Structure 1
Amino acid sequence: MTNKHTVLNGAYLNNVDDNERRQHDQQARATTTSPRDKTRQPSMWRALIRTFGGYFAIGGVFKLCYDLTTLISPQILSLLITFIGTKDPLAWRGYVYVAAMFIVACTRTVFSQNHWHVGLVTGMRLRTAIVGVIYRKALRLSTSARRETSVGEIVNLISVDAQKLQDSPLFLHLIWSAPLTIALCLYFLWQELGPSVLAGLLFMLLMIPVNGVIAQVTRKLQVSQMKFKDGRLKLMNELLNGIKVLKLYAWEDPFEKQILEMRGKEIRALQTAAYMDAGSAISWFMAPYLVALGSFAAYVLSSPDNVLDANKAFVSLALFNIMNFPLSMLPATLAYTVQAVVSIGRISKFLRREELDEDSVSHDQFTKEAIAVDKGIFSWSRSGEPILTNIKLKVPEGSLVAVVGQVGSGKSSLISALLGEMELMDGQVNVRGSVAYVPQQAWIQNSTVKGNILFSKDFNESRYRKVIDACALGPDLEILPGGDETEIGEKGINISGGQKQRVSLARAVYQDCQVYLLDDPLSAVDAHVGRHIFDHVVGPNGLLKRKTRLLVTNSVAYLQQMDTIVVLKNGEISEMGTFRELLSHKAAFAEFILTYLNDPNVSSELDPDSLHELQRQLTGVSDATLSDGSDHDLMSEPTNSPGVERTPSFRRRRRKRNSLVKTLSLEFENPSKKTLANVLDNQRLTEDEQAMSGSVKWSVLSCYLRACGYVFWPGIVAWCLLFVVSQTMTNIWLSMWSNDKPGPNGTVDSSLRDIRLEVYGGLGVIQAVATLGQSFAIAIGCVRASRVLHARLLHGMLRAPMSFFDTTPTGRIVNRFSKDVDTLDVSIPFTLRILMSTLTSVIGTIIVISYSTPIFLSVVIPLGLDIVLLQRFYVCSARQLRRIDSIRRSPIYAHFGETVTGTSSIRAYGQQRRFIDHSDFLVDENQKAYFFSFLLNRWRAVCLDLIGSSIVLFAGLFAVLERDTISAGIAGLSVTYALQVTESLNMVVKMTSEMETNIVAVERINEYTELEAEAPKTIEGNRPSPDWPLHGRVRFCDYATRYRAGLPLVLRDLNCQINANEKVGIVGRTGAGKSSMTLALFRIIEATAGSIVIDDQVIGQIGLHDLRSQLTIIPQDPVLFTGPLRMNLDPFDRYTDEEVWRSLEHAHLKDYVMSLPSGLQHDCAEGGENLSVGQRQLVCLARALLRKSKILVLDEATAAVDLETDDLIQATIRTEFADSTVITIAHRLNTIMDYDRVLVLDNGTIKELDTPEALLKDQDSIFYGMAKDTGLV
């Protein structure tokens, strides 16, 4: 089995016309493929060159024409200076020279803007292709590769790395263009100064190794920084996915600290890279000056006859200025090249990750069996240990097969193997026909209920209604405000776990496939709903009766109706056969049935006749089985585990309960978010992100300035003023030097020459110091701003209430922490550095030209007004386009995250093409804003180039007009600096607008730092004692609450007391307010009226962390984070290893953890993916055991686990929390029948509160009605 490597193959985006994007050439960009030549190492570079090389070369042609045209201007300047110096009486010659310079300048504009246009289009196509190929690869990753690759890492690739590659085409041409331009300039300089130019060249050569070392160090720093950035975004993504658990457990601080530590490492790498960039920038920025100084010094010192006249000085200076751009841009070119190389390396590494072997599962349509596995050995990775071994399975078409086994036995792995999600190490697998898959943890899209069910399949109303009814979704749709058109939010955040599972099942049923792989979909629903779904969907008379069904379940109630039962143990099939056959074997399955017949969770699911028949068949099995210890541990009775006993009071109440009623089980969906949905004005939960408009507010700029530090801007201004003064004085001094008249012997006085040279050199040193100071000040201030603003962003986000996370897509938040933070880290410092250097250059140029020809001031004001008007018009549009670009990036990231989490479902249904098309559509929508943005940039550049050409025209005209009153040196100075102003002027306006558009990132970050915060974590003047609560007594006093201001009350007039150590179950129909009551206890939602008192302490008067850290909840959905298992249990390191091991022992996980090579340091994958759902829930139990709080809340904690795990959890809670107050939201009513009291909620008010026995005796009670509704009483 060969490892597949992926390369970019023909990814291409057709051009965008004046109005909108044309359709992609999907075949050209379509997929990632293995290289044709298997002997060659896949190369991202080769793929990019093959795809984009031709169009990129066109940009190179324009760049070459631009560079050659630029070198014409100094030759015309030489003629103009000679004309003025010789006082030529033929004025028309001067005007011809000036006109020629103007025409050359305009021609340069044509070539320059075409070069930029082609480069930007190439970059746009490149980013589109890279994002597309990464998305396609994400859909093909093997399961082991997915576990190694976090959502945050992939988001980083498409947000940061793809953007760096998008920017690269503009700079890559400088790799060959800069040396060519420098070489040609040196050639022409040789014509002016002769061998003296070699002295200047020596300076240049000395800087190359220095900057080479800087580039090498910077590359390593870039790799480190991106590694830390990946780690930070990975942590952020996990934090956002588990934010509710963090708040309930008051764990925000350790996770904030963890992210800030990772950010600190990233900042240190960024800071060192910034200092290296500053050093590199100063060396290259000063290169033209040092070359000029060295060349002039060598020229005048080499011979007394060498006089630096105006022609030689200013033609040379013009050539030095032409060299200035490639030399000054070389650091940026090297930086961008390094970043591009690093990004390509990171993307290549991702594209080389292991892919699923598409041939591991064959789809032979001519086999007899619908599913056939022969001697299958499966692993999660090609180098990993086998998880399933010696699997032999044949499933006839149309049969119903159950897969049973204990937690971790390999049930879900078997389903994954049949889907092709595991590596086939040996054997053969064939699945005939189309496949539908229902995962154990439902995958829900951020879409409507209807959209999730249809899943792109054509709407058939008759079939749709049948599916809704069969999956028991009708009553739920009546409650939702928009019916089946209600948006159910990212990951289904506003519906319960049971509802999610039924939507997931309805999706599978509606697809009308031939093979159905159902991974325990009935575990999250009660026996009544489960029976309805089994009878109407899965069972022999259900909608799927003619389909092949493989059902993972541990429910005995359904096993008798199975055609075949497969028993898994330790990754192997220990038994297989019909229900009666397995009973007759009197082996592990028979023991499992016998054990669980005594468990009310199971026995209540069977009718009396079936129960009696089973007991008759199993007579004598127990002794025989128990005396044969071969398979005794397959599914041993959890409640008989060491260290777990039921207290006498619990046993008495359970006996009473069994005499009163069969096991009562009823699913009540979590209404906490669903109630929120009920009161929304429309069916939309999340609103589209709106782009702000208008200029960036001063408060935003002020925020950034403060983040940079108060000494930042005064320091920069001081350094800039020093630079302008020294640069202006240097230019004027050179003009004075060139006007020195040689003596009668044709030489200049040596003492005057030495003074000229020394002062010229000294002024250059001052320029160097000013440039260095400015660069380091920017580096220090911007890095500080990055650190401060990220910390504020993180803190503000963590302090936001849960309602913010419920209504804000994760991708939108991640966008702030990825693209916007990257703008802070990289774009703003780079833009600011270029802006300040070019701005000071333009100011110096205007001063020099005005000094040389004062009449020039007459056109400065009109041209200045033109520039200001142009800049204002441009910035308004550019800023808004940048906002739109940022907003349209968020859906891309959200779609990526949604895809990665649901890859197995997408692949199972064969929906890759549809999701790829949607990803392409989202990228195109984002590229629209970018495309119009760079068209706007080209318009701006053309206008500024024309203004710059006009400055050249006026400077030349005024020099010709005043040729009789000014010297050749002054004229040369004026025109020389006019020639260079075009480039600088363009960069000033571009960088000014870039700065304002980049500040939009600060605006977006600031938006999240100013979110409405929760109550304080602690209130120093009112902190409870360390041992609070001592008793665990809870009292609701006239309590009422709502989710947000202006919405209806979800709880009202609650008055009750839960006594110390009392066990109370909370029940109620859908939307009654059960989960709202527990959320109120943790102050996830705050009181509107009344109060909650715990041990005489009003909880609204203490800090949130003081409250939440003293309570414990076991939530319905187990949440684990990347990192050691011990960190997941004890992030504060408050407990000893001995205490942690004890909690694992009581949670029945000790043996499993001890079997792991790393023990407590075992690395949990993102979301705990390398543990089964049951094991994750037991980890949550271990957390609760560690905290040992006086108040424990179970919010449908066993809804998503099998019966064995449920019983383990219940048994442990009865013993370990015997001295604690336990509040349980009932998923299965049997779990609370031995509680002290039951609280019945209806429409947000308490209707009943009494013992279970008393409520069941009263046939008019709501509680009795619930039992009657299930048909059990």
Structure 2
Amino acid sequence: MRRSIQQTFSNNQDAEFLINGYPVNVLPRVKTGHPEPAPSVIISEGDFAWDNKSGKLALQDISLEISSGELVAVVGRSGAGKSSLLLSICGELDMLKGSGKVVGSIGYLEQSPWIMNDTLRANIIFGREYDSVYFEKVINACALAEDIQQWPDHDLTVIGDRGINISGGQKARLALAKALYSQADIYILEDPVSAVDAHVRRHILDHVILDSGILANKLRIIATNSKHILPYANQIVTLDDGKASVTQKVPEKYCPAATSLPNIIADKMSTKQSALDYLTDDTLSMADSEDSSDTDSENEDDVPLEIRRFSDGIIMFRKFINIKPEAPYIIHDNRPSAEWPASGKIEFRNFSMKYREDLPKALDNINLIINCGERIGIVGRTGAGKSSLAKALFRLVPDGTTGSILVDGQDISKFGVGDLRPRLGIIPQESTMFSGSYKINLDPLKEFSIEDIWSALLKCNIASKVSPPRTHNSSLEKQTQARYERYYQEEKAKYDKQWSKSGRFMKLFMLVFGKPPKKREYNDVKSIPKHGLHQNAMSGGSGFSGGQAQLFSLCRLLLRKRRIIVLDEATAEVDLETDKEIHRLIRDEFSNSTILTIAHRLETVMDSDRIIVMDKGQIVEVGPPQELIKQGGHFSKLVEANDFGQ
């Protein structure tokens, strides 16, 4: 494989990284059989790093012993190292010290699933032989059967590049189904229920994860932010700053049971204390997972993360050159005023939307008025149309729409997308980190001062990730910038001196083959150590976990104060305490903005002015949360099933 990579990418600047960047000294893996009859995971005093050259440890002094059939829950705050532990077991991190081994094949579920532009069936079987009986069993276990029945070609429906035609919850269940179909010995799952509603979560616990599920007798290692799994775990691994403490316990026997709406919720809602503050009290801090790769069994175990990402990029490029152009970026004879939107009123008028002509409506005749400064919670089961509302507002689906959307009385379809999207704020389900410095990621157009950027990072409690506490200050950034200016002047002086002493032939040689110093951005100069904001956001294993990436997106939002803010499952990948802090910060910083919060975690939206309940692309309920609960309708049933704080 390495030789073919060298031949394929020999002229590409990424070749060295692709060839040499893949971990070499990893946790050994062996197949089951004599003398290893059963799957197991053993690590003794292990140190792990994303980059064996940097010496920076992702995990330190890890000791684990997990036997066949055990369920292990991995918990901890955002960035504590949960995903690093799971990926170390998968062989994605270098083991710098210690010993151990993994016995058996691995089925891995990543938090941000990789989805092919192919049918649902092809994505699930992923090159394996199609077994209709087991396929049906997996589909039912992952609660996909009802979704499939609604699609025109059922499991042969093409779901689009990166799953564009399906919801976030459906993507999560598809990825879980792919892991299950591998029929591996060991299952490593990154928060398998974070992106689904309470009803689907209970189904997955009953039919997949716990004693009554399809994985009942398998070795399961699960990073989770849900209390539901903890009572039934054989071990709980708590991570903090790359170090682990292990609690051995006798698991409770699992019996699926229905829940009822606690009266205490209604009592608390009648007080002045916000529902959010109440509902997240005394909750366990456990969370998200880091950006990672899918290392599924035999087909994927041998494919390095970097190669898969590079391949994904090639596929995206090929699609890009043939892609149908979207709406115009700017419509010069119809542009909004510089202040638009000034108030933040949103109105949907008889609006419907399809992702493709052969698919059912994702939104069906939506009529809705959202007033200036309102805080709106949008809830519903997976695939109900919640995120489709956000995509419609940003005009991400140019064809297949009828009706209109008005913002401050202006029909958004009359403006170019370049006049629309930058004027709205969003934290999407999957935050994007670019290859470049932290500063470029936060401020690509150079609109803000260093002080503004650090202020946003500090408010989001993520400044220490960008730079150690002693160095994240604007004066150091300015000193480093000045150092580059001196460096450039010195290099230019050397070149000018050599030029002045050279004859015509040498000058010609210098012009053709020489490299006169060019004034570049500070971030491009490799010989100067990078500090703080000028560090590469994706290098040296310093990438963000899923929850930290969401906090980074919040920094972007704080820098660009907008009248309309969309939070699309923005806190699904963070622990409950961080969720609480984020929404308190949003309430304080965007008190005059219209805020649309899409969430499965109902604690997130319980203090909204109004709740919108979606089902099958339609709005089925609208009103204040307290009133909807008293009515005993759709929202009340969602609350009953939610098990707050779990």
TM-score band by shorter chain is: 0.7 to 0.9
Count of residue pairs brought into register by the alignment? 549
User: Which of 526, 530, 538 is 1:1165 aligned to?
Assistant: 538
Give the residue type in structure 2 aligned to 1:1033. K
Residues 1053-1112 of structure 1: CA deviation (Å, up to 9, x unaligned): 543321111011223455544333322222334595543332233333333222222111
1:296 paired residue number: none
Q: Which residue does the alignment assign to 1:514?
A: 185
Q: 1:434–1:513: 8 Å Cα contact kept in structure 2?
A: yes
Is 1:1179 the equivalent of 2:492? no
Give the one of 111, 125, 137 matched to 1:466.
Answer: 137
Q: Which amino acid aligns with 1:654?
A: A
Q: Distance in 1 between matches of 2:67 and 2:193?
A: 23
Deviation at 1:401, TM superposition (A): 1.1
Question: For the structure 1 residues 1071 and 412, does the alpha-carbon distance in structure 2 shift closer, same or farther, using more than 3 Å as the test?
Answer: closer
Is residue 452 of structure 2 the alignment partner of residue 1139 of structure 1? yes
**TM superposition shift of 1:1169:** 7.8
| Alignment pair present for 1:559 and 2:230 | yes
Assess if the C-alpha contact under 8 Å between 1:373 and 1:394 holds in 2: yes
Instruction: Give the direction of change, closer, same or farther, for the CA distance of 1:1089–1:1147 in structure 2 (3 Å limit).
Output: same
Aligned-partner Cα distance in 2 for 1:459–1:1011:
33
Deviation at 1:493, TM superposition (A): 2.9
From 336, 360, 378, give the equivalent of 2:48: 378
Q: Displacement of 1:525 after TM fit?
A: 2.2
Q: Which runs of 5+ in 2 are unaligned?
A: 284-290, 308-316, 473-529
**Which residue among 142, 158, 161 is the counterpart of 2:8?**
158
Residues 1:1065 and 2:438 are matched in the alignment: no
Is the 8 Å Cα contact of residues 608 and 625 (structure 2) preserved in structure 1?
yes
Task: Decide whether the 8 Å contact of 1:657 with 1:1253 is kept in 2.
Answer: no
Please list the CA deviations of residues 673-709 of structure 1 after superposition, one character each: whole Å capped at 9, or x if unmatched: xxxxxxxxxxxxxxxxxxxxxxxxxxxxxxxxxxxxx
Distance 1:563 1:901 in 2: 25
**1:1208 is the counterpart of 2:521:** no
1:203-240 C-alpha deviation (Å, 9 max, x unpaired): xxxxxxxxxxxxxxxxxxxxxxx75xx7xxxxxxxxxx
1:1076 aligns with 2:385: no
The answer to whether the Cα contact below 8 Å between 2:83 and 2:292 also exists between their aligned partners in 1 is no
Structure with the bigger RCO (C-alpha within 8 Å, sep 6+) is 2
**Counterpart in the other structure of 1:1024:** 336
Contact between 2:87 and 2:292, CA under 8 Å: does it hold in 1? no
Q: Which letter does structure 2 place at the counterpart of 1:361?
A: P
Name the CA shift for 1:1217/1:420 in 2 (closer, same or farther; >3 Å).
same
Indicate if the aligned counterparts of 2:75 and 2:225 stay in contact, CA closer than 8 A: yes
8 A contact 1:523–1:1202 mirrored in 2? no
Matched residue type, 2:604: T
- Structure 2 residue identity aligned to 1:382: N
Query: Residue 248 of structure 2 aligns with which residue?
Result: 577
- The answer as to whether partners of 1:566 and 1:575 remain within 8 angstroms in 2 is yes
Q: Is the 8 A contact 1:1240 1:1263 kept in 2?
A: yes
How far off its partner does 1:1220 sit? 0.9
Among 18, 23, 26, the alignment partner of 1:356 is: 23
Answer whether contact 1:1118 1:1177 (CA < 8 A) is retained. Answer: yes
8 Å CA contact 2:42–2:101 kept in 1: the answer is: yes
1:413 maps to 84
- Measure the CA separation in 2 of the matches of 1:450 and 1:1198: 30
Structure 1 Cα separation of the partners of residues 322 and 176 of structure 2: 40
Partner of 2:126: 455
Residue in 2 that maps onto 1:442: 113
Give the structure 2 partner of residue 1218 of structure 1. Answer: 591
Query: What amino acid is aligned across from residue 1177 of structure 1 in structure 2?
Result: Q
Whole-angstrom distance in 2 between the partners of 1:1017 and 1:1168: 39
Task: Give the TM-score taking structure 2 as reference length.
Answer: 0.75
Of 1187, 1193, 1196 in structure 1, the residue corresponding to residue 569 of structure 2 is 1196
Instruction: Pick closer, same or farther for the CA change 1:1030–1:609 going to 2, 3 Å.
Output: closer
Which structure features the higher share of helix residues? 1
Deviation at 1:1194, TM superposition (A): 1.5
> In 1, Cα distance between the equivalents of 2:621 and 2:396?
25
> Is structure 2 residue 146 aligned with structure 1 residue 475?
yes
> What do residues 453-486 of structure 1 show as CA deviations (whole Å, max 9, x unaligned)?
2234333333332222222221122122222222
Note closer, same or farther for the CA distance 1:1266–1:1162 as it changes in structure 2 (3 Å cut): same
* CA distance in structure 2 between the partners assigned to 1:580 and 1:1239 by the alignment: 39
Q: Deviations over 1:993-1025 (max 9, x none)?
A: xxxxxxxxxxx99x9599545134253x54433
Distance, in Å, in 1 between the alignment partners of 2:299 and 2:189 is 12
Q: Which runs of 5+ in 1 are unaligned?
A: 1-30, 33-132, 138-156, 162-225, 231-346, 582-604, 613-647, 664-899, 917-1003
Is 1:1125 matched with 2:438?
yes
Structure 2 residue aligned with 1:1234, among 607, 614, 634?
Answer: 607
User: Is 1:1258 matched with 2:631?
Assistant: yes
Give the alignment's TM-score, normalised by structure 1. Answer: 0.40
Is 1:432 paired with 2:103? yes
Is this contact kept in 2: 1:435–1:908, CA < 8 A? no
- Give the Å deviation of 1:386: 1.9
In the TM superposition, 1:443-842 aligns within 5 A as 443-578=114-249, 652-654=273-275
Judged with a 3 Å threshold, the aligned counterparts in structure 2 of structure 1 residues 1018 and 579 are, in CA distance, closer, same or farther, namely: farther
Contact 1:1066 1:1223 (C-alpha < 8 Å) held by counterparts: yes
2: distance between equivalents of 1:1089 and 1:507? 35
Aligned residue for 1:1152? 465
* Structure whose alpha-carbon radius of gyration is higher: 1
Counterparts in 2 of 1:527 and 1:655: CA distance versus 1, 3 Å: closer
**Contact 2:197-2:382 within 8 A present in 1 as well:** no
Deviation at 1:1052, TM superposition (A): 5.2
Structure 2 matches for 1:287-436, cutoff 5 A? 349=16, 353-357=20-24, 360-363=27-30, 366=35, 370-384=40-54, 385-436=56-107
Q: Distance in 2 between matches of 1:516 and 1:507?
A: 11
Change (3 A) 1:1263 1:429: same
Q: Give, in whole Å, the separation in 1 of the partners of 2:178 and 2:146.
A: 17
Q: Take 1:912 and 1:1025, find their aligned partners in 2: how far apart are those partners? A: 51
Q: 2:415 aligned with 1:1102, yes or no?
A: yes
Question: Does the aligned pair in 2 maintain the 1:1121–1:1167 contact within 8 Å?
Answer: no
Q: Residue 1049 and residue 422 in structure 1: after superposition, are their counterparts in 2 closer, same or farther (change >3 A)?
A: closer
Cα shift readout 1:635-674 (whole Å, capped 9, x = no counterpart): xxxxxxxxxxxxx99954518997xxxx9xxxxxxxxxxx
- AA aligned opposite 2:52: R
The CA distance in 1 between the partners of 2:86 and 2:397, in whole Å, is 40
Q: Distance in 2 between matches of 1:1061 and 1:657?
A: 23
SS of the counterpart of 1:1212?
helix
Q: Which residue of 1 aligns with 2:426?
A: 1113
8 Å Cα contact 1:1121-1:1166 kept in structure 2: no
**Aligned equivalents of 1:1052 and 1:1119: distance in 2?**
30
Q: Which runs of structure 2 are paired with 1:81-120 in the superposition (5 Å)?
A: none
Matches within 5 A, 1:55-66: none
Distance 1:1252 1:1065 in 2: 9
Task: For 2:68 and 2:62, locate their aligned partners in 1 and report how far apart those are by CA, in whole Å.
Answer: 19
Partners of 1:1114 and 1:1197 within 8 A in 2: yes
Q: Is the 8 A contact 1:1194 1:1223 kept in 2?
A: yes
* RMSD of aligned alpha carbons: 4.0
> Quick one: structure 1 residues 1257 and 510, their matched pair in 2 at CA, closer, same or farther if it must change by over 3 Å?
same
Distance 1:654 1:910, change over 3 A: closer
